[in-house]
Amino acid sequence: MSGGVATTVWLSPSATAFSCLCETCLDSARLSGVLFADALAGASVRGSVSAEASVAVARCAAGHEIVLRRVERPPQLAHPDERQLQLS
């Protein structure tokens, strides 16, 4: 294992639910050569989060950590979030 960096998801100020892809699952799926559609399905993580929580931790089906962080205001920088946007 190199790194072990948890997937981080940024929540909008009013979000009470999240939907993302576990990057660790995507990586391992890519290494094992499964179909991309299957990798996406296996890495998909959805859940709810308290509106008051500024930081929360969720887990994907395989138990990898997903860190949920709430932004105080819309992000100033462009993030490479195309993969997450394609999910919904």
Chain centroid offset of residue 2 CA: 19
Closer residue to Zn ion, CB minimum distance, 33 or 74: 33
User: Taking the C-alpha atoms of 22, 42, 19 and 83 in order, what is their torsion angle to the nearest 10 degrees?
Assistant: 70
Closer residue to Zn ion, CB minimum distance, 59 or 69: 59
Nearest alpha-carbon partner for 23 in 46, 38, 40, 47: 40
Residue 60 found at the interface with Zn ion (CB under 5 A): yes
Closer residue to Zn ion, CB minimum distance, 25 or 49: 25
What does the binding site for Zn ion look like in residue numbers (CB under 5 A)? Answer: 22, 24-25, 60, 62, 64
